[in-house]
């Protein structure tokens, strides 16, 4: 099966918009929400639009176990108690303290290339950098990252996802078994680490979690597994995407690249523009808990509602000339990190990693040219990210 490409996704979203910013999609058996105000309204009302879509997933013990601490798929009040436990570790001030370590890791990874003039930006930098940073925060061996990558690949490689695939049939029986096998391996691996941290709690996030209480009770091993697994996966795949997408976007827009080189202070806004146009998670799913109204249309209780961040980010009512890559766009109220109570906890960290990595890259190399023909992307219905991004570089 040939997976859809990036242009396929954006063409589909544009065509879909002709049916209205909100409409029911018979083929996918869900509500498609495309407009910026409408997506914000859905994400901003967690009581009407629940994140608990457990019943969309096939029942399987390894998948169920992971869900127990996976607070991104929980509703209040449990969501809020669990989120509070880790939010302190990711405030902008705490995250700013990680800058020296992020700079060192970036420099070491590029030093390892020993002056190579061609390398793979994903394999050699965009993947290892965020995974090392989040593994160190969690107190998990960063050296095990080939295993984490295998898990992420197994979970996010879904060539079948696309406009004809009902969300309720995201996984066929064979895929469920394959995903469950990976989840089992991941659960066992994380359980071992949770137990080690219970024996000797270190001064890291997992150490804090084994001692923390939510609603007056300590977390179970199973809850911590879901918690740590969520942070481990969410903490790197999307940042890998952002770094790869930034290098690819600047390669496509040489004028913007020249401006950023001349004035690196433009980098943060340029990265925001990459985040807007190449939204790593293109869509978020919710379920209506009661009869509701979105964009003036009645949505019955129990329906699946898909909020398309990638479409909201291109809404001409909010973004002037929405398809233009404008590194000076300000304000840039993109919804790439979500909205409301589930707003991404790792946004400050992701932004910092992307900025530092880009600064180091631009300082080291006078030229960075992407081999577009040899680049490989994931199915964008699942994630907008390169998985291979070969580059040729000229040292500064
Ligand atoms: C939540 C995107 C980086 C941890 C989210 C959500 C989005 C998102 C869209 C909301 C999900 C929903 O409402 O259902 C991104 C993007 C990133 C990124 C685009 C990078 C560019 C990170 C990093 C971490 C992280 C580095 C870890 C440190 C989380 C967690 C949640 C979350 C724990 C759940 C928050 C909650 O449910 O309250 N992220 N993320 N993310 N993200 Fe990120």
In this structure, the strands spanning 30-33 and 304-308 are: parallel
Ligand 1, atom 41, lies closest to the CA of: 346
Confidence check: pLDDT of 288 > 70: yes
* pLDDT beyond 80 at 172: no
Which CATH superfamily, name and number, covers 6-395? Cytochrome P450 (1.10.630.10)
**What SS3 string covers 181-218?**
HHHHHHHHHHHHHHHHHHHCCCCCHHHHHHHCEECCEE
Sheet of 118-120: strand order equals 118-120, 390-395, 365-370
Residue of 244 and 64 predicted with greater confidence: 244
Pocket test for ligand 1, best of 234, 348, 354, 356 (most atoms within 8 A of CB): 234
Check whether 247 has a pLDDT greater than 80: yes
Per-residue pLDDT tens for 60-110? 777 777 778 889 999 999 999 999 998 888 888 889 999 999 999 999 999
Is the separation of the CB atoms in 227 and 69 below 8 Å? yes
pLDDT-derived band at 250 (thresholds 50, 70, 90) equals very high
Sign of CA dihedral 213, 218, 221, 223: negative
* Side-chain-side CA neighbours of residue 368 (13 Å): 25
CA distance 225 to 296: 41
Q: Does 77 sit behind a cis peptide bond, omega within 30 degrees of 0 on the bond before it?
A: yes
Pick the residue whose CA is nearest to atom 27 on ligand 1: 235
Give CA 68 to chain center in angstroms: 20
- Give the model's confidence band at 30: pLDDT under 50 very low, under 70 low, under 90 confident, else very high: very high
- Which H or E element spans position 234? helix 221-234
CB 364 within 8 A of CB 395: yes
Ligand 1 centroid–CA 354 distance in Å is 15
Confidence check: pLDDT of 2 > 80: no
User: ∠ CA 182-186-192 to the nearest 5 degrees?
Assistant: 150
Strands 390-395 and 292-294: unpaired
Cβ-based neighbours of 300, under 8 Å, separated by 6 or more: 288, 291
Mean pLDDT of 289-294: 98
Question: How many helices and strands (H and E) does the chain possess?
Answer: 17, 14
Residue 344 beta carbon below 6 angstroms from any ligand 1 atom:
yes
pLDDT exceeds cutoff 60 at 324: yes
Give the separation between CA 105 and CA 243, rounded to whole angstroms: 15
Q: Does 128 sit in the ligand 1 pocket, CB within 6 Å?
A: no
For residue 277, what pLDDT is reported? 98
Mean model confidence pLDDT for the chain: 92
**Is the CB of 281 inside a 6 Å radius of any atom of ligand 1?**
yes
- Residue holding tokens 């994400």? 43
Find the mean pLDDT for residues 212-229: 89
| Pocket of ligand 1 contains residue 235 by CB under 6 Å | yes
Query: 375 in ligand 1 pocket by Cβ < 6 Å?
Result: no
Residue 1 pLDDT > 70: no
Alpha carbons 294 and 273: distance in angstroms, whole number: 27
Residue 227 reports pLDDT greater than 90: no
């Amino acid at each position: 099966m040939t997976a859809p490409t990036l242009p396929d996704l954006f063409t589909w979203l544009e065509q879909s918009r002709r049916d209205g910013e909100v409409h029911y999609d018979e083929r996918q058996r869900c509500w498609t929400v495309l407009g910026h105000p409408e997506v914000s309204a859905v994400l901003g009302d967690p009581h009407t639009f629940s994140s608990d879509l457990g019943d969309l997933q096939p029942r399987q013990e390894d998948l169920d176990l992971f869900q127990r601490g996976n607070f991104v798929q929980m509703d209040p009040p449990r969501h809020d108690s669990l989120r509070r436990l880790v939010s302190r570790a990711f405030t902008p001030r705490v995250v700013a303290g990680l800058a020296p370590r992020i700079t060192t890791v970036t420099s070491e990874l590029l030093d390892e290339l020993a002056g190579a003039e061609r390398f793979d930006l994903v394999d050699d930098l965009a993947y290892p950098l965020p995974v090392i940073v989040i593994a160190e925060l969690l107190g998990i061996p960063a050296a095990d990252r080939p295993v984490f990558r295998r898990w992420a690949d197994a979970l996010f490689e879904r060539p079948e996802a696309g406009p004809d695939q009902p969300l309720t049939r995201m996984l066929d029986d064979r895929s469920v078994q394959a995903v469950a096998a990976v989840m089992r391996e991941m659960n066992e691996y994380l359980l071992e680490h949770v137990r080690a941290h219970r024996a000797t709690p270190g001064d890291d996030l997992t150490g804090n979690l084994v001692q923390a209480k939510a609603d007056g009770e300590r977390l179970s091993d199973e809850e911590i597994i879901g918690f740590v697994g969520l942070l481990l996966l969410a903490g790197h795949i999307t940042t890998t995407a952002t770094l790869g997408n930034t290098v690819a976007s600047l390669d496509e827009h040489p004028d913007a690249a020249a401006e950023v080189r001349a004035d690196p202070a433009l980098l943060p806004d340029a990265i925001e523009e990459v985040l807007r146009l190449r939204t790593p998670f293109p869509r978020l799913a919710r379920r209506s808990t009661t009869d509701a109204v979105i964009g003036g249309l009645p949505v019955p209780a129990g329906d699946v509602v898909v909020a398309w961040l990638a479409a909201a980010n291109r809404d001409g009512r909010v973004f002037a000339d929405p398809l233009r890559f404008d590194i000076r766009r300000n304000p840039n109220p993109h919804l790439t990190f979500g909205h409301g109570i589930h707003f991404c906890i790792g946004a400050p960290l992701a932004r910092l990693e992307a900025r530092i990595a880009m600064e180091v890259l631009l300082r080291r190399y006078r030229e960075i040219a992407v081999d577009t023909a040899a680049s490989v992307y994931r199915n964008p219905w699942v994630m907008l990210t390169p998985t291979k991004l070969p580059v040729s570089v000229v040292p500064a």
